[in-house]
A and B are shown apart, each in its own frame.
Chain A
Amino acid sequence: MNENPQPNPNQDQGKDQKGSGIIEKIQQLGQTNVPQMEQSNIHVLTIIGQIEGHMQLPPQNKTTKYEHIIPQLVAAEQNPKIEGLLIILNTVGGDVEAGLALAEMISSMSKPTVTLVLGGGHSIGVPIAVAANFSYIAETATMTIHPVRLTGLVIGVPQTFEYLDKMQDRVINFVTRHSGISEENFKELMLSKGNLTRDIGTNVIGKDAVSYGLINEVGGIGQALSKLNELIDQNKKMHPNGDVIQ
C-alpha cells in the first residue's frame, strides 16, 4: 500500500515552507512567535469588475472569478471563527450562470450576510446585491437592470430565444424572491424603453433602488457594518450555545 517511492511533493513543499518561515522569522525578528493581530469575526468579500464565468478574460480586465469566490464562501461558512460576511459590490455584471451561482451561494449561507453596492451593481450584480440578509446601496451607486443577452455568434433558432428567456426567468425569480420588488415592477424596469441609450432597461440610482424595494436601505460602510453586527448578535441569541452543526 505504501510502496510509492516518491513522497507526496506537496507535502514536502509544505514542510519546507514551514521550516524556512521559522528561520526567516528568527533572522528578521529574533523570535519565532510574531504577535498576530486579533482575528476579525467579520470577513469581507469584494466582487469587482466583471464576473467571469466559463470564458477566461484577458489579464488586463479586472474580474471576479467564481472559482475564487466559491471556495472563499465555503471557508467563511465552515470556519466557526467567522460570524458574519460583508459583501462589497462594484461590478458591471458578466456571466449570468456564474453570477447566479454566487447569488445562490450567498443566499444559502447560515451566517448573517450584508451586501453593500458601491459605484455599481449592474446586470447580474443585481441578484448578488439582493442575495444577502440585508442590502445597502451608496447614495450615488447605480444598478442597471436589463434583459439577458449574448455576445458573439448565436444560432438564430426559436430554441435560442427560449433558452435566453428561461435564463432571464431564473434571474427574475431570484430577485423577486430575495427582495421586496414585485415581479411585475422588476420586469417593467427590465424592459422599459427610453432610459438607456439605444437599449432597453433602467438605471436605478441609490434612493430609487430602495423605493422600488430592490435594496433595503441607502447607506455606506458604517451602516453596513453596524447592521451586520446587529444581525450577528441576533443570530447568537437564536443559537445561544454557539453550536455549529458540523
Chain B
Amino acid sequence: MILYTYVNQEAIFPTDEKDFSRQEMVDIPGGQLLLEKEEGEYGLQYKIVRLFSTDPNMYLENKYNPGEYFTKQ
C-alpha cells in the first residue's frame, strides 16, 4: 500500500502508547542506558537497547553491551 499524503506518518498510524512505556532510561555511573522491558520465563527483565555515554571505554564493558540483561537497583 502506498499512501500519497502530506500528513506525516505518525498522524495516520499513531504509535501504540504501550510502545513508549516499554522503554525506559536509567542512569548509570558515567552515562545512561536505554532499557526495554521484557516479560519472559524469568519474570520481568530489562534488556539493554543502547548505551548513552561519551566515554569510549564504557562501550568496551561487556555488561553494557546491547542485548545484555540489566538488573535495575
Task: Please report A residues at the B interface, Cβ cutoff 8 Å.
Answer: 13, 16-17, 20, 37, 39-40, 42-45, 56-60, 68, 72, 75-76, 82, 85, 151-153
Could you name 28 residue pairs across A and B whose Cβ atoms are closer than 8 Å? A13-B73, A20-B73, A37-B57, A37-B60, A39-B57, A43-B54, A43-B55, A43-B56, A44-B54, A44-B56, A58-B10, A58-B15, A58-B19, A59-B19, A59-B20, A60-B19, A68-B32, A72-B52, A72-B53, A75-B54, A76-B54, A82-B54, A151-B8, A152-B6, A152-B7, A152-B8, A152-B11, A153-B7
Residues of B within 8 A of A44 (CB): 54, 56
Which of chain B's residues 47-73 have a Cβ closer than 8 Å to chain A? 52-57, 60, 73
Which single member of B10, B22, B54 contacts A59 (CB below 8 Å)? B22
Is B23's CB within 8 Å of the partner chain A?
yes
CA distance A59 to B20 in the complex (A): 6
How many B residues, CB 8 Å from partner? 20
| Identity of the chain A residue whose Cβ is nearest the Cβ of B14 in the assembled complex | A58
Which single member of A13, A40, A152, A153 contacts B57 (CB below 8 Å)? A40
B54 touches A68 (CB 8 A): no
CA distance A151 to B8 in the complex (A): 6
Add 8 more A-B contacts to A44-B54, A85-B54 (CB < 8 A). A16-B73, A17-B73, A40-B57, A43-B56, A82-B54, A151-B6, A152-B7, A152-B8
A40 touches B32 (CB 8 A): no
Number of A-B contacts (CB under 8 A): 47
Residues of B within 8 A of A45 (CB): 54
Mostly, the B contact residues are mixed
Given A13-B73, A20-B73, A58-B10 in contact, is the A42-B23 Cβ separation under 8 Å? no
Residues of B within 8 A of A72 (CB): 31, 52-54
| Identity of the chain A residue whose Cβ is nearest the Cβ of B22 in the assembled complex | A59
Task: Please report B residues at the A interface, Cβ cutoff 8 Å.
Answer: 6-8, 10-11, 15, 19-20, 22-23, 31-32, 52-57, 60, 73
CA distance A239 to B39 in the complex (A): 54
CA distance A44 to B6 in the complex (A): 37
In the assembled complex, the CB of B38 is this many whole angstroms from the nearest CB of chain A, namely 14
| Identity of the chain A residue whose Cβ is nearest the Cβ of B49 in the assembled complex | A59
B15 touches A40 (CB 8 A): no
In the assembled complex, the CB of B49 is this many whole angstroms from the nearest CB of chain A, namely 9
CA distance A151 to B12 in the complex (A): 13
CA distance A40 to B32 in the complex (A): 18
Residues of B within 8 A of A16 (CB): 73
Residues of B within 8 A of A76 (CB): 54
A42 touches B56 (CB 8 A): yes
CA distance A72 to B51 in the complex (A): 13
CA distance A43 to B56 in the complex (A): 6
CA distance A151 to B32 in the complex (A): 31
Residues of A within 8 A of B56 (CB): 40, 42-44
Residues of B within 8 A of A43 (CB): 54-56
In the assembled complex, the CB of B54 is this many whole angstroms from the nearest CB of chain A, namely 4
A40 touches B55 (CB 8 A): yes
